[in-house]
Amino acid sequence: MQVPCITLRTTTERPITVSKGSNILISPNFENIIFELEKAFAGNIKKGEIPELWDGKASERIVKIICEII
């Protein structure tokens, strides 16, 4: 769905989402959250790419599963 992501943690199990994708990993404190949100709302958000061997369709599969459950 190509939606930028801000992850409020100091680590991630999927570091490739940070290095190749649009995910930004920030420590969960108020100043960092406000700073990154202000950047995002100003349109200054990281542009990512689909990592090698990924098909870019995970969000579509997730939405399908959620719809089937509910």
Answer yes or no: are the C-beta atoms of 8 and 30 closer than 8 Å. no
pLDDT at 50: 85
pTM, whole model, 2 decimals?
Answer: 0.69
**Cα 34 to the center of its chain, rounded Å:** 17
pLDDT at 11 over 90: yes
- Per-residue three-class SS string for 5-61: EEEECCCCCCCHHHHCCCEEEECCCHHHHHHHHHHHHCCCCCCCCCCCCCCCCHHHH
Task: Quote the domain boundaries for residue 19.
Answer: 5-69
In degrees and rounded to multiples of 5, residue 12 shows phi and psi of -145, 150
Length of the chain, please? 70
Number of domains in the chain: 1
pLDDT at 1: 65
pLDDT at 43: 87
Over residues 20-42, the pLDDT tens digits come to 988 999 999 999 999 998 998 99
